[in-house]
Each structure stands twice: as C-alpha cells, then as structure tokens.
Structure 1
C-alpha cells in the first residue's frame, strides 16, 4: 500500500482557477459545506494575485451571495476561493431585548483582506452562532467581547479598527475561516442544535437556559 501523503496546500494557481470559475460562472456560486478541503486550509494572503477589476468583481459576488443567503458575513473560502478575504454586513432588524443581550448594533458593509484580530482584555461572551457552511445547525461559542482588527482594504490601505459585541463576534468568525477554523471547533458541542430545535427550545437572548438544560 502506498504511503499516505498530506495534500499540498493551495497555491496561486489554485486561487486563479477558483476566481476565474466564480467570475465566469454566470450565476452565484454555491456556499461550500463542512468537509470541503478549502474550509480546512489556511487561505492565501492577498499579495496582488488579482487585478483591481478581478478583486472588485470577487467582492461583488461575495456580497451578493452573503445577502442572498442571508448572512452577516462570508469568507472567500466559503465559495471555494482560498484567499484571505471576507465581507461583513449586519443591518438586520432585531428586537431591543436581543440587541441589548448580544450588544448587537448595525455593521455597515466592510470588505477585509489579510485580517488579524487580537482580543482586547480578557472578557468573553457566550452566544449561539451558526455558519453558512454548516447549514441547519447552531452552537454556543465563547468569543472575546472586544477585538482589535488589523486588515487591508481593497485599495491596499492598512487599517486598525476596534470592534465590540456582536460585531466583534462576526469579525472573529469570518477571520477564523481564513485560518481553516470553523465555529464548531470552538463551540460547546453539547449545545449543538438543529435550527428547528434551536427555534423550539433555545432561542433566548442569552444562553443561560440552554446552559442549564444542556449542561455545558
């Protein structure tokens, strides 16, 4: 039996092929699901592999996919592109109780390249979250309440910005994707629930009831 070898990491040729497929596909690309290798690899940093027109086109497609899902964020690997790029936007209406419990405030559209986040302080918050690449499921994840994000914009300008509350959760979730990490890797697995069970039992502004009943 031949010796097993780990698959080679994605390279710039893979990136070019995947972007061409997305931009020339003629329709919105599907969101790849857990088990797809691109979700478990560290995405390539953006170093100018794409033209400004190609990058703008990719961001436009990702934005459309995110909004159609609907979701509040999408990382390039979620449409099969191994690039450190994510888009985020949270303009959905939520109840005042939900907004207060989750510190959820509107997040205007943002595209980030080569992001890195650092927790600000040691405080964490625990909430249910889902993922467009794990369709139909949610689980509780402990996340830093506030983070400092360093990233480049689509013009190559470096930024440092602080996020807190639900916005910080979105930032962490999407940036994790670019390192090959899914939310389930950090979740309390005893809290894992289908969307139907979550809606029936655990859809509260905080997770205290779920924590008590599910023992996590």
Structure 2
C-alpha cells in the first residue's frame, strides 16, 4: 500500500524531477520506493504535467536502454508505466520468445490476470537491478486492463514477450521486483550471460546451473 501523500506534493516532486533536461535518474534496488507500491492515478498531475512526465519516462527508457519503465523506478509512487519494444533480435530468438515489436504506449492504473494456465520461462533483467539477469517463469498470456494517458480504457490480451513486459512493469507498481519471482540458481551477471547463455531459451542454463523450468 502506498504511503498517502497530497496531490500537491506529488506534483511538486515531479516538477522537481523535470527541472533538468535529459534522462531521469533510475532508482536502484534497495530504495524503499521500489517496495511501497503506488497510488492509483486520479489526477495528481494535471494533463500538461502528466504529458511532460510521460515524455521524460520515454526518454529515460530509451537512454537506458530498456523496453519498459515504471514511475517508481524514477522515484515517483504513481501507478504509471511506459513500454516500447523495437524487438531488434535475430529471427530464431524472436520466434522462441514470442518477441514482437511493441509501439510506445502508456499504462495508467494497469492490472493483469492470466489467460490460461501456460507459463514461459526466460532470462529477464531490470533497469533497477543493473548488471544481473535471472530466469523468471511468467504467464504466457495475460489480460491487461487499465487506462491510457488520456483516460481511455485499456482492455487487451498480450502474449509472448509483450506479456512478459507488461507483467514486469505492472509488478513494479505493486512493489514487486523480478527477482522476487526469479529462479535463484539462474542468477547470472551480464558478463556470464554474454559468454554462456545467449541461446534462444534457457534450457542449457537450467541443465548447467541446476534449476527446473516449467
């Protein structure tokens, strides 16, 4: 549950963040803001400030680079996230992981529920946990509901890698990091990932490191 704060204080916090140009600082694991959960967005930022904040999230996500960024990752406890995935991967990886290009979009007050029992496990990383990746088993397909930045309803089914992205970012809004759902024995440095685990699926890593896949 988020710590209650007035609308003015949140707006002031965002204004202060946006006072300098360029990407926003990304909060790393260990900061309480990543564990508190977030306030439902209900107009704490006026439309102009919300638009500026969304653009700053986009710029920061691109600069990192990443395929998603949630407001708590820049220190703001609001239920807002952005996603975008150009999916610049080889065809073999794209097919194995169900990775499809996702245009830029804003998720406001999102929540998800599984569609069917299928789960998929792949290595996953996080901008707030730099330098490491681990295998996470997630729902292969989810129904995402919420709104966009204009208050229009969102009710959409995501599959494959896009489903993984929306689960990861929505989890951030609930104070959950991907490590909470990860297979501990799979934890690998980025250097080990580049040297050992570049295969389309984590099956070889599971055999070598001694963990089970769903």
Q: Which residue of 2 aligns with 1:102?
A: 97
Mapped partners of 1:15, 1:186: distance in 2? 30
TM-score normalized by structure 2?
0.94
Query: Which stretches in structure 1 are left out of the alignment for 5+ residues?
Result: 1-7
What's the secondary structure of 1:129's corresponding residue?
strand
What's the secondary structure of 2:116's corresponding residue?
coil
Q: Which moved more, 1:42-51 or 1:11-20?
A: 11-20
Query: Could you tell me which of 23, 34, 38 is aligned with 2:33?
Result: 38
Q: Which residue of 2 aligns with 1:165?
A: 160
Mapped partners of 1:128, 1:14: distance in 2? 38
* 1:157 Cα deviation from its structure 2 partner: 1.4
Mapped partners of 1:103, 1:203: distance in 2? 16
Mapped partners of 1:212, 1:14: distance in 2? 50
Mapped partners of 1:195, 1:91: distance in 2? 21
CA deviation vs aligned residue, 1:91-119 (integer Å, no higher than 9, x gap): 13110100011010100111010000000
Mapped partners of 2:129, 2:93: distance in 1? 23
Query: Could you tell me which of 124, 135, 140 is aligned with 1:129?
Result: 124
Query: Which stretches in structure 2 are left out of the alignment for 5+ residues?
Result: none
Q: How does 1:30-179 map to 2 (within 5 A)?
A: 30-179=25-174
Q: Which residue of 1 aligns with 2:208?
A: 213
* 1:10 Cα deviation from its structure 2 partner: 4.9
Q: Which residue of 2 aligns with 1:3?
A: none
- Residue 192 (structure 1) aligned with residue 203 (structure 2): no
Q: Which moved more, 1:19-28 or 1:134-143?
A: 19-28
**Is the contact made by 2:146 and 2:154 (CA closer than 8 Å) also made in structure 1?**
yes
* 1:18 Cα deviation from its structure 2 partner: 2.3
Alignment: residue pair count: 209
What's the secondary structure of 2:58's corresponding residue?
helix
* 1:202 Cα deviation from its structure 2 partner: 1.2
What's the secondary structure of 1:135's corresponding residue?
coil
Instruction: Report the aligned-residue RMSD.
Output: 1.2
TM-score normalized by structure 1?
0.94
* 1:150 Cα deviation from its structure 2 partner: 0.2
**Is the contact made by 1:10 and 1:82 (CA closer than 8 Å) also made in structure 2?**
no
Mapped partners of 1:205, 1:143: distance in 2? 16
Mapped partners of 1:137, 1:203: distance in 2? 14
Q: Which residue of 2 aligns with 1:24?
A: 19
What's the secondary structure of 2:123's corresponding residue?
strand
